[in-house]
C-alpha cells in the first residue's frame, strides 16, 4: 500500500510539472487532457494487476484449506469406525456433531458459510474393509475446485483377533438314540437331504433305515427294513446310492451276496445269490449298473458287473478275474472304475468298464509304502483319497492322487492319522476330510487337503465313550453325524464350532 501511495505522489508531481510547462501555451489544453488520459489508463492497469495478484495468491490458500478439511474428514471416519465397522454403511454422507459424538448425516455438509462443501462416499470392497473417499469442493469469488482424500478402513478388531477356523474345534451338539436298540450304526450318508443308515447287530441281523433332520434338532426316524443278511465286516460303501434312492448292500451271506432296497417304499429289491461261496466285499452303483467286488479264491471272479432296473432281477454283464482279493470299489466315470486290492505291490486297480460285457484291467498303482490291510476310497473333484481301515499297526495312512486323467492316477501327498479309519466323508468345496477312527481319545478327526501335497490336521474331537464307526457330513448346515457303537446314543452330532 505504501508503494502505491508513493507511486501516486510521484505521478502527482509529474502532473504539476506538466501544468506548469504548458500554463502559458494556448494549445496546451489538448496535451494536458491527453496526458491525464494516459495517466488514468496506466493507473487502472496497475491497480488491476495488483488486484489480480492478490486474488491469485488466495487460490493456493483455498486449496490448502480444502485439503485440510478432506484430511479432517478421513480422521472423523476413523473416529466413527472405532466402535464397529458397521457404523460406516455404504453411501454418500456429510458429517455432523449430535452434541455427544460425530456421526454421518445427510449427503454433504457446508463449511465456512458455504465456501466449502464436504462429502464422503463409502463402498465395501470386502466384508472386513471399507473404502472411503472424502471430497471437499469450493466456490470462492467465482473460482471453483475440489480436493479428495482416499482412505481404507478395516475391521481391525477382527483382524487383531482372528476368527476361529472352521472345524478347528468341533463342538458337541447332541446325541440321538435310534428306535432299534443294541445295534451299531455302521453306515451313514446324506442323499437329497435325508440321512440314510445301516444298523448291524453283531452276527445276527442288519437293518436299513433313514432319518429326517429337516426340523433339527428334532430327528424323525423312518421305518426299518430287515435286510435278512449280515455282513461280517462293517464300514464304508457297503451300501451304495445310485442317485434315485435305491441302495444295494453287499453281504458275507453266501446265498444272498447282494440285497437291494427301494429307499422311498422301504421294499426290498430282491436278493442275488452269486456263484461260488466267497464274500462280497464292496458294492457301488452308477445308474442301473452295479459293480461288486469279492474275495479271491482262484475260481470265482473278483470283479462283477450287474444290471438292475429297480426290479427283483439282477442281470450279469461281465466279470474280471484277479489273483488278489478286491475290496472297495468306486466309479470315476462311465469308462473307469477304481478297486482297492490285497496285492501290496498293486493296491489300486484301474478297470476299463466302457464295455460292460468285457471289463479289462487298464492300470495298476503301487502305493508309496508297502502296508498290509484294506484300503477304502472317496473322491473329491479330481482328487482320489485312499485310507486304510484295517491292518495290524496303530496308524492309518491316507494317500492323495490326482485323477484328472482317470486311467493314470498321479501321487500328490500323504497324511497319517493316529488310528485306523472306519469311515470318511468329504467337503469338496473346502477340501475337508471327515474321519471316524478307531481312536479311544480322538474318535473324530478333520483333515484339510486343500494343498493335497501337504495335508494337515484341522481338528479333533474326543467322545465321552463308544467307538465311532461311520460319519456323514451335512453340507446344508455344516454339521457332522457320527454313527457309534453306543447302544443308548447311537448317533453323535457335532457342529463346526
Cell 478297470, residue located:
351
Cα separation, 406 vs 9, whole angstroms: 103
HEC string of the chain?
CHHHHHHHHHHHHHHHHHHHHCCCCCCHHHHHHHHHHHHHHHHHHHHHHHHHHHHHHHHHHHHHHHHHHHHHHHHHHHHHHCCCHHHCCCEEEEEEECCCCEEEECCCEEEHHHCEEEEEEEEEEECCEEEEEEEEEEEECCEEEEEEEEEEEECHHHHHCCCCCCCCCCEEEEEECCCCCCCEEEEEEEECCEEEEEEEECCCEEEEEEEECCCCCCCEECCCEECCCCCCCCCCCCEEECCCCEEEEECCCCCCCEEEEECCCCEEEEEECCCCCCCEEEEEEECCEEEEEECCCCCCCCEEEEECCCCCCCEEEEEECCCCCEEEEEECCCCEEEEEECCCCCCEEEEECCCCCCCEEEEEECCCCCCCCCEEEEEECCEEEEEECCCCCCCEEEEEEECCCCCCCEEEEEEEECCCEEEEEEECCCCEEEEEECCCCCCEEEEECCCCCCCEEEEEECCCCCCEEEEEEECCCCEEEEEECCCCCCEEEEECC
Q: With 0.75 as the threshold, say if the pTM is over it.
A: no
What per-residue confidence (pLDDT) applies to 24? 43
24: left (phi over 0), alpha (psi -120 to 50) or beta: alpha
Structural contact between residues 320 and 303, judged by C-beta atoms closer than 8 angstroms: yes
> How many whole angstroms from its chain centre is CA 198?
31
**332-359 burial code (b ≥16 CB/10 A, e <16):** beeebbbbbbbbeebbbbbbbbeeeeeb
Q: How far apart are CA 427 and CA 467, in angstroms?
A: 23
449 HSE (CA, 13 A, CB side): 33
Q: What is the Cβ-side half-sphere exposure of residue 410, based on CA atoms within 13 angstroms?
A: 7
CB 62 within 8 A of CB 106: no
- Which residue has cell 444272498? 256
- What does the alpha-carbon distance between residue 296 and residue 307 come to, in Å, rounded to a whole number? 22
Domains annotated for the chain, with CATH where assigned, are 2-160 (no CATH), 171-495 (2.130.10.10)
pLDDT in tens, the chain (497 residues): 444 434 444 444 444 444 444 444 445 565 666 666 666 655 555 555 444 444 444 557 888 898 899 999 999 998 888 878 888 999 999 999 988 889 999 999 999 888 999 999 998 877 678 889 999 999 887 788 889 988 888 876 655 555 557 899 999 999 999 887 778 888 898 887 789 998 887 666 788 899 999 999 999 999 988 887 655 443 334 467 666 788 888 888 888 888 888 888 888 888 999 998 888 999 998 888 999 999 998 888 999 999 998 889 999 999 999 989 999 999 998 899 999 999 999 999 999 999 999 999 999 999 998 878 899 999 999 999 999 988 765 678 899 999 999 999 999 999 998 888 999 999 999 999 999 988 888 899 999 999 999 999 999 998 776 788 899 999 989 999 999 888 888 999 999 98
Q: With the C-alpha atoms ordered 475, 478, 483, 488, is the resulting torsion angle positive or negative?
A: negative
Contact between 213 and 219 under an 8 Å Cβ cutoff? The reply is yes
- Rounded CA-CA distance 315/309 in Å is 10
Q: Tell me how far apart the alpha carbons of residues 442 and 456 are, in angstroms, rounded to a whole number.
A: 16
- C-alpha cell recorded at residue 57: 495468491
Q: Please return the burial class of 476, using the count of CB atoms within 10 Å of its CB with bins 0-12, 13-18 and 19+.
A: exposed
How far are the Cα atoms of 79, 80, 155, 157 from residue 124, in angstroms, in the given order? 18, 16, 11, 17
The answer to whether the CB of 474 falls within 8 A of the CB of 189 is no
Amino acid at each position: 500500500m505504501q508503494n502505491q501511495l508513493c507511486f501516486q505522489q510521484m505521478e502527482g508531481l509529474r502532473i504539476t510539472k506538466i501544468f506548469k510547462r504548458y500554463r502559458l501555451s494556448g494549445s496546451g489544453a489538448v496535451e494536458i487532457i491527453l496526458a491525464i488520459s494516459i495517466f488514468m489508463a496506466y493507473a487502472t492497469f496497475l491497480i488491476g494487476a495488483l488486484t489480480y495478484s492478490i486474488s491469485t495468491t488466495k487460490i493456493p490458500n483455498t486449496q490448502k484449506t480444502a485439503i485440510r478439511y478432506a484430511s479432517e474428514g478421513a480422521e472423523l471416519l476413523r473416529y466413527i469406525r472405532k466402535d464397529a465397522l458397521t457404523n460406516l454403511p455404504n453411501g454418500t454422507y456429510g458429517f455432523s456433531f449430535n452434541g455427544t459424538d460425530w456421526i454421518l448425516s445427510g449427503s454433504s455438509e457446508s463449511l465456512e458459510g458455504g465456501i466449502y462443501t464436504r462429502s464422503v462416499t463409502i463402498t465395501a470392497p470386502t466384508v472386513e474393509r471399507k473404502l472411503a473417499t472424502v471430497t471437499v469442493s469450493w466456490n470462492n469469488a467465482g473460482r471453483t475446485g475440489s480436493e479428495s482424500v482416499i482412505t481404507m478402513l478395516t475391521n481391525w478388531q477382527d483382524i487383531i483377533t482372528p476368527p476361529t477356523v472352521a472345524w478347528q474345534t468341533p463342538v458337541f451338539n447332541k446325541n440321538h438314540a435310534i428306535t432299534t436298540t443294541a445295534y451299531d450304526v455302521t453306515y451313514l450318508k446324506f442323499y437329497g437331504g435325508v440321512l440314510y443308515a445301516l444298523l448291524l447287530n453283531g452276527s445276527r441281523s442288519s437293518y436299513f433305515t433313514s432319518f429326517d433332520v429337516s426340523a433339527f434338532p428334532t430327528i424323525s426316524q423312518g421305518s426299518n427294513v430287515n435286510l435278512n443278511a449280515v455282513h461280517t465286516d462293517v464300514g464304508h460303501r457297503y451300501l451304495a446310492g445310485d442317485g434315485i434312492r435305491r441302495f444295494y448292500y453287499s453281504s458275507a451271506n453266501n446265498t444272498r451276496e447282494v440285497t437291494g432296497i427301494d429307499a422311498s417304499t422301504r421294499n426290498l429289491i430282491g436278493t442275488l445269490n452269486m456263484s461260488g461261496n466267497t464274500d462280497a466285499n464292496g458294492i457301488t452303483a452308477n445308474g442301473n449298473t452295479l459293480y461288486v467286488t469279492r474275495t479271491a479264491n482262484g475260481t470265482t471272479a473278483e470283479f462283477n458287473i450287474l444290471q438292475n432296473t429297480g426290479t427283483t432281477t439282477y442281470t450279469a454283464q461281465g466279470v474280471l478275474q484277479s489273483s488278489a482279493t478286491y475290496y472297495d470299489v468306486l466309479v470315476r466315470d462311465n469308462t473307469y472304475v477304481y478297486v482297492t486290492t490285497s496285492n501290496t505291490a498293486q493296491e489300486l486297480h484301474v478297470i476299463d468298464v466302457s464295455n460292460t460285457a468285457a471289463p479289462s484291467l487298464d492300470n495298476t498303482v503301487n502305493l508309496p509304502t508297502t502296508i498290509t490291510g484294506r484300503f477304502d476310497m472317496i473322491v473329491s473333484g479330481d482328487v482320489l483319497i485312499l485310507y486304510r481301515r484295517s491292518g495290524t499297526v496303530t496308524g492309518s495312512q491316507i494317500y492323495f492322487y490326482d485323477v484328472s486323467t482317470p486311467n493314470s492316477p498321479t501321487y500328490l501327498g500323504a497324511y497319517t492319522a493316529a488310528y485306523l479309519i472306519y469311515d470318511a466323508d468329504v467337503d469338496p468345496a473346502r477340501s475337508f476330510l471327515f474321519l471316524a477312527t478307531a481312536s479311544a481319545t480322538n474318535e473324530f478327526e478333520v483333515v484339510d487337503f486343500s494343498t493335497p501335497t501337504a495335508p494337515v490336521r484341522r481338528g479333533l474331537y474326543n467322545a465321552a465313550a463308544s467307538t465311532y464307526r461311520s460319519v456323514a457330513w451335512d453340507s446344508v448346515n455344516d454339521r457332522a453325524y457320527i454313527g457309534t457303537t453306543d447302544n443308548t446314543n447311537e448317533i453323535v452330532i457335532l457342529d463346526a464350532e
